[in-house]
Structure 1
């Protein structure tokens, strides 16, 4: 079944969606993106995603093609066009087609390229949320503004490929001995004292929307919590490790660099937090 995508003001069949070879997103990765989860045919935490989109655009002096409320209306129409019940909407804004390859930013007359498409995928009952995943560590070679959600994702792709070559599902990124995050998600541990730990916000990590929601839920449910850097050694000796993102919610980690975590099964804090988050997400998107 052919998907309908949104491109520059039109809802069209995916095979008919075309972007210029001179688009700056294609030539320079001069573009930002967001991925919003969809449950029960409704967007989840979308206001926070659109606020982060606006922040990313502002940081790059990249013009939003329309107001956030108009973007959400287009997202909802795209959900309806594709009869999407569970999955995600990918949204990308590039600086547009400047007519040739030139490092200088084009003038204000160049319109941004605005693309969106849906992806159907299981979020609630994904097998890895139950079995857990295996991870390896790899050096974090990304640029220094990871808080801006740009499409320059070659380093995370290389990290994932490294993980797959080493019989793992994903990679934790390490910088100066400290875990920054995973290849496409935020990273968490439950330390030896039973405290939930995640790295504090800075330019070194993406300001995850699911991370933000989980912090609030942990505080509401009296889960002991610290926002602080943690080392690879701490992660390898932690009671529990998990990752979070818009489309994984929470996935437990059952091994790291070949060392079994938590007896090789998802831990109780991870399980409790996922259960709470899923219940809240289902309530938020109920018809």
Structure 2
């Protein structure tokens, strides 16, 4: 059975879902997106994703075609119609269809698309037990990484660089400092202190990041929000990433060398357990 997807107000089979060839998301990557995890049929951190979506739209002077309540209902409908127990709901909003012009069109109506991906055992990834390997690459993205746009070509290239190197992901480096992973925020732990880059235009303001830092402080783990170098990461006691689809995922190798003992660290393991437990309690 095919998936049901949501396109501009209608629930349709994926084979019947269409978007205009003049849509600015296709022509200019003029759009934003969010992805919300589903565990046990419930949405994780939905409110945070809705707030960040509104911010991204505002930064691009783009209209929001739906309210938060309507968006929640669409998410729930897609989860139910597609029988999603564990998985993801992707949301994309573009400026809409208009004749090709670099200037923003004045009368285009936004395009909104949502679809699901079933991911059985999403919270039970084997990498959580073994840890992941990353390589470092130069950060060549545009300057407004805080806006969650659909411009994902360089992160895709980074994923392929990692795959070619036999690694799981890439950490991007700018002026000697780690910015973030290709689709996740990056962290190191040194002498019991959790270190992650401060918020700014250089990184995405991760929803999972915000929750994990809150839980870390509640667990009496000291947190420093500051840039860290690649050398610091390679000399760290442990490392990990966070994202909506991986939650808290340990990193045990950078550029072929072990992080700490080369085993999953206690801080990452503990924060993953706390995040999953607390997020499930608050899931909608």
Conserved 8 A contact 1:199-1:227: yes
Task: Work out the CA distance in 2 between the residues paired with 1:144 and 1:215.
Answer: 24
* Per-residue deviation, residues 1-24 of structure 1 (Å, max 9, x unmatched): 311000001100111111111100
Match of 2:242 in 1: 244
**In the alignment, structure 1 residue 51 sits paired with structure 2 residue 54:** no
Where in structure 1 are there 5+ consecutive unaligned residues? none
Match of 1:235 in 2: 233
Task: Work out the CA distance in 2 between the residues paired with 1:73 and 1:96.
Answer: 22
* Moved >6 Å (runs of 4+): none
Q: How far is the alpha carbon of 1:265 from its aligned partner?
A: 1.4
Q: How far is the alpha carbon of 1:168 from its aligned partner?
A: 0.6
Where in structure 2 are there 5+ consecutive unaligned residues? none
Task: Work out the CA distance in 2 between the residues paired with 1:197 and 1:120.
Answer: 33
The 5 Å alignment of 1:80-119 reads 80-98=80-98, 100-107=99-106, 109-119=107-117
Task: Work out the CA distance in 2 between the residues paired with 1:223 and 1:129.
Answer: 20
Match of 1:15 in 2: 15
Match of 1:271, SS state, is helix
Q: How far is the alpha carbon of 1:263 from its aligned partner?
A: 2.0
Match of 1:34 in 2: 34
Match of 2:145 in 1: 146
Match of 1:84, SS state, is coil
Match of 2:128 in 1: 129
Q: How far is the alpha carbon of 1:66 from its aligned partner?
A: 1.4
Task: Work out the CA distance in 1 between the residues paired with 2:151 and 2:34.
Answer: 13
Q: How far is the alpha carbon of 1:142 from its aligned partner?
A: 0.6
Match of 2:240, SS state, is strand
- Count of aligned pairs between the two proteins: 283
Task: Work out the CA distance in 2 between the residues paired with 1:27 and 1:130.
Answer: 41
Task: Work out the CA distance in 2 between the residues paired with 1:14 and 1:38.
Answer: 20
Match of 1:175 in 2: 174
RMSD over aligned Cα atoms: 1.0
Conserved 8 A contact 1:240-1:253: yes
